[in-house]
């Protein structure tokens, strides 16, 4: 065949990448791989190993060590031993180590890319041109954070020993996403790679050791789900960072409840890919190729739901089908291939089963007419069109090269369809009208939005989701904070709960009795009687009756959450407007300072001066959050591409708050104010023992222009109300400052919708100390960061 014929036919000849170096490395470990613990190679208990199989051929590449609880314990002990000296090395010392890791990755880039392609099945073009360069980028970027740590985060310290569990779809890249920030900030790591794809983690451990990383700083324990469970359960692990399925994420949330472990979860997705009628349709078609057929669709943020405006849908789908016909599926080491192999037979069977369900439910099936290899796990690029929003394939994550398409007529309908999912990871918006695209982006309930682009990633730009896609961020400043803890909370002592007072009768004789006044609940801007028509007495520490409050129940919480959900205009209000109302609340509270001080003194037996100081501190705290309301803003990232990424601090939604008994007014304000300052609406249960300060405060709210439903107050038994809030799937986050038992229950029961939790585990906060109870220590918990990518240029 001559050159002219190639140009005439535009056909491809095989372009295999050499795997000789990778094969030589595998041959050196022909007897089986060991765990890497404390800088040493540790053989598996009783010689237990399993096969690592090449998805493209079914060939056994290596034998991998099976970890057990004893192995995990040894790795955690090694990490604990190394953590203090690693942190004491200082930011500059750690920066130099991370810089060395970045350089080592670049030196071994081709070996890493080939091993990844062999082990995972993804095309060499992706591992070579995307995964490995991003790995190096993460180490370079986080070397910078290590260098700046003392100046940028002086009030925070490292979390400690981090247990990390990564998936099989991006084995090496997920390793870098997790260990780079952890190590940069002075933590040490025990990492468990996916059972299917452990090889690049083991190769990286060798490279890291050669680069001089101290023993015990990075430990690799391989194994199956039981190994991961042992890591999650280990009591000396301070944080779990998990990327994987939503089902396993729920199990981890339940397993860590009450343990005090920090937790970040990056879970599944069913991301919308929205094409408006003014989009560059040819560009959008290429976007679909990158969105769903990149890495064979085995991407948590894959654009697997294609939403096309009705007027251009026939033309767009026709263009997409023609483009599908040009895609090539084959051996991952062939540089001409667009799609490689599915990771394992079990995943291939899942894809086939879900596609069959989609067809049975009425979807039209179109598959690219491509030649598939005779061996290995391969699946053709697939389009299911005419899919109903409630169809199984529109709701369930397929995690394969399958896109489902639907149509919409108006922008509002596009948003409604896009948000019609229990997931909330990412979205793509395609329109030549940038105003339209930027109007749609904030309305999408996701953590990442790409404008006229898809699957853009960078170490400087946070990545993560909301709802059942998990919580927490990786990358960016917000990702760094996930591996730090506030110094002001480090020395908190367990809360000591005094026995409740015994009520004593106050003899009235024949004096004129005081008018009875029972404080009601405050729901939707109105005082409301409790559903059960029960009340509870409020006693002084000496047992003197001070009044009564309503006994809230499950239905009252339901009504309060509904009122908070309906008050979404508060989340859309300007930050300036929210600031004005917070100042107005402070003004009106200050005008009644003596009254509130008397109430606090009566409830707590505090001296009058101390009670008044609490009121004045609450006034100051409202002023502080009035100040923060329009100043805790996002940033503009400049990743290494022609474009920017807007990191927007968005309200979480409806936040449930359970207040402690100490400092009943100040703690109430300290928890409610940051939430509403950032645009959230709250359902708050005040101090169980001293609730009258909060019920008095709703009179302040009624006269301060606070919109109805923004703050809803339900009094009663804290544990019972916390349970209902934790179980309520329309509550987006839950803050619990109460007993250790209530904290554990809240975390355990939050798994239904995987709501974000902030709990104190029964540890006492000094509410008068601004370092422990005000400002940036709470504000990150009151927002979720949405990164909107905006490429520019032709």
Q: Is 515 exposed, middle or buried (0-12, 13-18, 19+ CB in 10 A)?
A: exposed
| DSSP 8-state secondary structure symbol assigned to residue 237 | -
| DSSP 8-state secondary structure symbol assigned to residue 704 | T
CA-wise closest residue to 216 among 71, 346, 38: 38
Structure tokens at 501: 């007072």
Cβ neighbours, 10 Å, residue 496: 8
User: Is-catalytic flag, 300?
Assistant: yes
Tokens 């002023």, residue located = 623
Contact 653, 682 (CB under 8 A): no
Q: Is 360 exposed, middle or buried (0-12, 13-18, 19+ CB in 10 A)?
A: exposed
Phi, psi of 264 (to 5 degrees): -125, 140
CA-wise closest residue to 520 among 731, 736, 718, 716: 716
Can you tell me the distance from the alpha carbon of 639 to that of 643, in angstroms, rounded to the nearest whole number? 7
Beta-bridge partners for 656: 683, 734
Write down the catalytic residue from 126, 195, 266, 688: 266
Rg over alpha carbons for the chain, rounded to the nearest Å, is: 28
Contact 392, 303 (CB under 8 A): no
Structure tokens at 565: 């959900």
Contact 316, 275 (CB under 8 A): yes
Cβ neighbours, 10 Å, residue 510: 5
- Dihedral sign for Cα 633, 639, 644, 646, please: negative
- Cβ within 8 Å of residue 334, ≥6 positions away: 14, 15, 16, 17, 123, 124
Contact 174, 167 (CB under 8 A): yes
Can you tell me the distance from the alpha carbon of 527 to that of 352, in angstroms, rounded to the nearest whole number? 56
User: Is-catalytic flag, 478?
Assistant: no
Structure tokens at 617: 């501190």
- Dihedral sign for Cα 83, 85, 90, 96, please: negative
What single string gives the DSSP state of each residue in 327-382?
--B--TTBTT-SB---S-HHHHHHHHHHHHHHHHTTPEEEE---PPPSSS-----E
Q: Is 764 exposed, middle or buried (0-12, 13-18, 19+ CB in 10 A)?
A: middle
Classify residue 475 as left (phi > 0), alpha (psi -120 to 50) or beta: left
Can you tell me the distance from the alpha carbon of 518 to that of 66, in angstroms, rounded to the nearest whole number? 63
- Dihedral sign for Cα 455, 458, 460, 463, please: positive
Total residue length of the chain: 794
Write down the catalytic residue from 116, 195, 300, 551: 300
Cβ neighbours, 10 Å, residue 585: 28
CA-wise closest residue to 596 among 580, 619, 579: 619
Q: Would you please indicate which residues are annotated as catalytic (active-site) residues? A: 266, 300
């Amino acid at each position: 065949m001559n050159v002219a014929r190639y140009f005439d036919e535009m056909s491809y000849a095989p372009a295999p990448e050499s795997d000789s170096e990778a094969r030589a490395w595998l041959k050196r470990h022909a007897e089986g791989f060991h765990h890497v613990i404390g800088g040493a190679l540790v053989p598996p208990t009783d010689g237990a190993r399993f096969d690592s199989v090449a998805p493209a051929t079914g060939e056994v590449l290596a034998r991998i060590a099976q970890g057990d609880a004893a192995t995990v314990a040894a790795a955690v002990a090694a990490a604990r031993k190394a953590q203090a000296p690693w942190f004491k090395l200082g930011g500059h010392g750690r920066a130099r180590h991370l810089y060395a890791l970045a350089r080592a990755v670049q030196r071994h880039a081709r070996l890493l890319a080939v091993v990844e392609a062999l082990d995972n099945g993804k095309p060499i073009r992706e591992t070579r041109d995307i995964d490995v360069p991003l790995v190096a980028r993460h180490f370079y970027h986080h070397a910078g954070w290590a260098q700046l740590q003392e100046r940028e985060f002086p009030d925070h310290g490292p979390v400690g020993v981090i247990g990390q569990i990564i998936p099989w779809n991006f084995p090496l890249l997920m390793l870098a996403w997790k260990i780079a920030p952890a190590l940069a900030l002075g933590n040490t790591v025990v990492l468990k790679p996916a059972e299917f794809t452990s090889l690049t983690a083991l190769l990286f451990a060798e490279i890291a050791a050669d680069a001089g990383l101290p023993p015990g700083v990075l430990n690799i324990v391989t194994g199956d789900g039981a190994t991961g469970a042992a890591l999650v359960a280990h009591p000396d692990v301070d944080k779990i960072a998990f990327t994987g399925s939503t089902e396993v994420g729920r199990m981890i949330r339940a397993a860590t409840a009450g343990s005090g472990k920090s937790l970040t979860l990056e879970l599944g997705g069913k991301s919308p890919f929205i094409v408006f009628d003014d989009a560059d349709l040819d560009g959008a078609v290429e976007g679909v190729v990158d969105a769903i057929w990149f890495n064979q669709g085995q991407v948590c943020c894959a654009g697997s739901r294609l939403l096309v405006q009705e007027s251009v849908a026939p033309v767009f789908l026709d263009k997409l089908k023609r483009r599908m016909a040009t895609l090539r599926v084959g051996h991952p080491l062939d540089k001409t291939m667009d799609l490689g192999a599915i990771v394992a037979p079990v995943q291939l069977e899942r894809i086939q089963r879900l596609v069959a369900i989609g067809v049975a439910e009425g979807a039209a099936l179109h598959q690219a007419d491509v030649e598939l290899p005779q061996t290995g796990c391969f699946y053709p690029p697939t389009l299911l069109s005419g899919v109903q929003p409630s169809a199984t394939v529109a709701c369930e994550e397929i995690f394969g090269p399958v896109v489902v398409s639907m149509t919409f007529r108006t922008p509002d309908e596009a948003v409604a369809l896009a948000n019609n999912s229990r997931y909330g990871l990412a979205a793509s918006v395609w329109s030549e009208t940038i105003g339209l695209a930027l109007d749609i982006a904030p309305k999408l309930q996701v953590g990442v939005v790409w404008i006229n682009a898809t699957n853009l990633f960078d170490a400087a730009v946070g990545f993560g989701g909301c709802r059942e896609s998990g919580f927490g961020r990786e990358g960016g400043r917000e990702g760094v904070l996930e591996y730090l803890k506030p110094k002001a909370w480090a020395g908190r002592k367990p809360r000591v709960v005094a026995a409740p007072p015994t009520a004593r009768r106050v003899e009235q004789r024949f004096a004129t009795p005081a008018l009875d006044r029972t404080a009601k609940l405050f729901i939707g801007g109105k005082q409301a009687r409790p559903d059960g028509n029960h009340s509870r007495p409020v006693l002084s520490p000496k047992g003197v009756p001070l009044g009564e409050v309503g006994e809230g129940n499950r239905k009252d919480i339901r009504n309060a959450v509904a009122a908070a959900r309906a008050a979404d205009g508060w989340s859309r209000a300007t930050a300036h407007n929210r600031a004005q109302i917070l100042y107005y609340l402070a003004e009106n509270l200050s005008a009644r300072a003596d009254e509130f001080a008397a109430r606090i003194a009566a409830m707590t037996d505090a001296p009058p001066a101390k009670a008044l100081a609490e009121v004045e501190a609450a006034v100051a705290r409202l002023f502080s959050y009035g100040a923060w309301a329009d100043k805790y803003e996002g940033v503009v990232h400049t990743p290494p591409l022609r474009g920017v990424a807007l990191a927007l601090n968005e309200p979480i939604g409806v936040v449930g708050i359970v207040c402690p008994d100490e400092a009943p007014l100040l703690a109430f304000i300290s928890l409610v104010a940051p939430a509403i300052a950032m645009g959230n609406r709250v359902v708050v249960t005040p101090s169980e023992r001293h609730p009258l300060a909060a019920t008095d405060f709703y009179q302040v709210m009624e006269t301060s222009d606070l919109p109805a439903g923004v703050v809803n107050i339900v009094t009663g038994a804290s544990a019972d109300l916390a349970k209902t809030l934790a179980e309520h799937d329309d509550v987006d986050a839950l803050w619990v400052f109460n007993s250790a038992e209530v904290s554990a229950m809240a975390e355990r029961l939050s798994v239904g919708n995987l709501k974000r939790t902030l709990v104190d585990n029964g540890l006492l906060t000094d509410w008068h100390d601004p370092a422990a109870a005000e400002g940036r220590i709470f504000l990150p918990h009151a927002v979720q960061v949405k990164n909107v990518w905006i490429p520019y240029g032709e």
